[in-house]
Amino acid sequence: MINYDDFAKVEIKAGKILSAEKIPETDKLLKLSVDFAEEKPRQIVSGISTYFPDPAVLVGRTCMFVTNLEPRIIRGVESNGMLFALSTPEGAFSLLEPNAQIPVGTKAK
């Protein structure tokens, strides 16, 4: 269990995926360029390639991301956030996507 103050430190924002490409020589990793209404897009690495054989289907989708994690190098690629997604042991999968009325950069409360 964590207390509310710890949870409040997590910054969750809506971001629009501008590009998505498979990271060579990996089975699960995609490199995403994501717009959070900041000065420039962020690069985020996500292990969702299994669910998106054609990463281009992600382009234009607005999803929820954790945006205040320390940068991390994953297979030689810097990641500046984490995509929110759900999966079950049976293989069901879903991205967390806000409705179309939520603008890019909106923080979750």
pLDDT at 76: 94
Mean pLDDT confidence for 27-56: 97
* Torsion sign across C-alpha atoms 77, 80, 86, 92: negative
pLDDT value at position 109? 87
Q: Which domains does the chain have, with CATH numbers?
A: 11-95 (2.40.50.140)
Given a contact cutoff of 8 angstroms between Cβ atoms, the answer to whether 84 and 64 are in contact is: yes
Average pLDDT over residues 31-48: 98
- For residue 30, the model assigns a pLDDT of 98
- Between CA 8 and CA 21 the distance in angstroms is 32
pTM: 0.94
- 2 - beta bridge partners? none
Cα–Cα distance measured from residue 65 to residue 45, given in angstroms and rounded to the nearest whole number: 11
